[in-house]
Structure 1
């Protein structure tokens, strides 16, 4: 028994010694493993620090490049607009220039006001208005546009050929009946229209716009009654008309953008707030004639009907945001009639090319308009101006002498300073094919001022 006890004690003692001898080895192994892990973590941290430093260097380069081109970070933007990357290092201008700028959101703030991102001035042009607008605004942004439009008509035209006013008369001349039996042909017409257009971005994709206008028109005339009296021009004051015109409201929706390509849709509504009861002195005179008669259709301030005005606009913006090319198809459809008539429906096709030079922009655009004749007639107007046997007091009283095809070429320029811009555009018709006999379009002039806030 004693021997067994001694054997057991020896075994226990041996086990204890073995365990004690193993502890340093295990500790050393654990220490080596910990040191290896520490070295690994230090290497990983060093690599992460190197990557961070590399990214910081790239970010500094990108900020320097974007600063050279006038881009301000979104945090400094008063409208919280996204920053547009102008270089590949800043994120790729090819993908963002057209897409982000299509909504016109690139507004840079500063102590002296606002500055447009290069290229964005394409979308804030004070000369364009109504269906000519082809962009949306950022959510919560207001823009006010004041525009003056002048048009000048000189001489008469039938189809594509000019007509001498001496060949417009009633009765006969040298035994020859008149081809154009009108007593008082107009020799010209001027129209000045002043428009005020507030716009508001409901969302980044939807902008609402209204257009209120005041217009003034003047039409000089001559009187020709064939061989009986000849011309009578002395003492004939021009026919004048003026006042508040129709009101237009538009909803502009950004359908989408694909890289450098953008598509925008517009639905406009004409509200007949302009007068259609403007009167002028009765040149016929006589005891049985009223002193005043209705002015002709083109001398009325409004159209008298609710009109639908849809438009679809495509535009392309170059990588460097220096070129903007686009086109638009729009139309005017008159709903119902007013006193038995409605002005002719129309279709307009436009194309343009714009070039930016810093804060200045120039452009060239073509505008083709096809307009139908007046539908129906105003019986009160016909009663006092139709003389029988195909003769009328003036060509403008005959509903058939309206509409046709006109192609205009226009050139213009605008300048952007912070949140304000001014613009000027002039144009002439290069082709006209008019229904019946009408005044011939001569030239156009548009000017505008715009403020964004």
Structure 2
């Protein structure tokens, strides 16, 4: 285990230079008025809360967000399953289980309403499904026992208020936001694990990454900037997730910071493509659920939950400026990690994606 996570920002140097050059080209073409009827008027679909609406306007949307994790990292070094459940005396970590891979998918319904030109309110309701494959270490000559764990249900509902700082029609928009994550997601999920006599399945509380929520009311302050040129658009966003208090099971998830920047090009008013950089850092768990043994698995260890990751995202936005589908948007974005350092052993992220639909009226 390690306490300090060195920054992975060095991995951003070349992509940041590219984004800077592209943004400079866009700024050189900047105009005075915001143009909303074009595909790149919204950020890549993986960015939440990037825009506000005019007074009286509604928007409804749906996002599907899958993610796949496979393999274990401690810092940026790969860790084998054998090392994970080998004894500390033998140079291992001494856990009973070793995670192999995990698939998560989130279905997000979102609703936005603008009571004034300055203020927009937003609610996001997630439904989460998770599936983790693990191995139970069998002592002696017996091979490891593979098993799967599953959980699904409503996650933590998010309520946000966004304030437009800049003039309504400006081609440069600055937006301040404050969100509240409500602990509607379960933190007491169980599934069968082969920990009974002779490997018999026993219903046990699932590990921290398999729970559906944080169990606490979390504040999410943020700041977003977006700009437009004749063909180019660009933006950046920073959002913090600040946990408040301790949940009913005796622990608090680590705080989180998400930073991202993007550049997009509109090929036509109906189609745009984007390049995005995203950086996230999150802390370890403070406290412990007494029904989750920290020696069972690294996913059950409060000290093995923190980390940081840098992703590159490639996206496409589609928009219908006229006709029967006028006002409908469709976005697709795929994100691939370029660097990650994890307090581990911890499952590393292989890829994630976002597919979304939005309709304003």
Normalising by the residue count of structure 2, what TM-score does the alignment of the two structures yield?
Answer: 0.85
**Deviation sequence 1:15-61 (CA, Å, 0-9, x none):** xxxxxxxxxxxxxxxxxxxxxxxxxxxxxxxxxxxxxxxxxxxxxxx
Equivalent in the alignment of 1:254: 164
Equivalent in the alignment of 2:153: 243
Compare the two structures and name the one with the higher helix fraction. 1
Equivalent in the alignment of 1:368: 279
Equivalent in the alignment of 2:94: 181
Asked if structure 1 preserves the Cα contact closer than 8 Å seen for 2:86 and 2:92, the reply is no
**Deviation sequence 1:60-82 (CA, Å, 0-9, x none):** xxxxxxxxxxxxxxxxxxxxxxx
Cα distance in 1 for partners of 2:197, 2:136 equals 16
Asked if structure 2 preserves the Cα contact closer than 8 Å seen for 1:216 and 1:243, the reply is yes
Structure 1 pair 360/290, CA: closer, same or farther in 2 (3 Å)?
Answer: closer
Asked if structure 2 preserves the Cα contact closer than 8 Å seen for 1:137 and 1:204, the reply is yes
Equivalent in the alignment of 1:201: 114
The answer to whether residue 236 in structure 2 is matched with residue 327 in structure 1 is yes
Cα distance in 1 for partners of 2:170, 2:106 equals 38
Equivalent of 1:423 in 331, 334, 340: 331
**Larger relative CO (CA 8 A, sep 6+): 1 or 2?**
2
Cα distance in 2 for partners of 1:191, 1:267 equals 26
Structure 1 pair 161/208, CA: closer, same or farther in 2 (3 Å)?
Answer: same
**Deviation sequence 1:74-97 (CA, Å, 0-9, x none):** xxxxxxxxxxxxxxxxxxx96632
Bigger Cα Rg: 1
Structure 2: gaps of 5 or more residues: 1-28, 321-325
The CA RMSD over aligned residues, in Å, is 2.1
Equivalent in the alignment of 1:122: 40
Q: Secondary structure at the match of 1:280?
A: strand
Structure 1 pair 403/186, CA: closer, same or farther in 2 (3 Å)?
Answer: same
Normalising by the residue count of structure 1, what TM-score does the alignment of the two structures yield?
Answer: 0.68
Equivalent of 2:124 in 211, 219, 227: 211
Cα distance in 1 for partners of 2:196, 2:353 equals 37
Distance apart, 1:450 and its partner CA: 1.3
Distance apart, 1:423 and its partner CA: 1.3
Asked if structure 2 preserves the Cα contact closer than 8 Å seen for 1:246 and 1:272, the reply is yes
Structure 1: gaps of 5 or more residues: 1-92, 105-115, 387-391
Equivalent of 2:258 in 322, 328, 348: 348
Equivalent of 1:97 in 7, 17, 33: 33
Distance apart, 1:142 and its partner CA: 0.7
Equivalent of 1:336 in 245, 263, 270: 245
Q: Secondary structure at the match of 2:150?
A: strand
Asked if structure 1 preserves the Cα contact closer than 8 Å seen for 2:84 and 2:345, the reply is no
Asked if structure 2 preserves the Cα contact closer than 8 Å seen for 1:149 and 1:192, the reply is yes
Compare the two structures and name the one with the higher strand fraction. 2
Cα distance in 2 for partners of 1:222, 1:128 equals 33
**Deviation sequence 1:117-143 (CA, Å, 0-9, x none):** x4xx333458245xx222110111111
Asked if structure 1 preserves the Cα contact closer than 8 Å seen for 2:109 and 2:125, the reply is yes
Equivalent of 2:313 in 410, 429, 436: 410
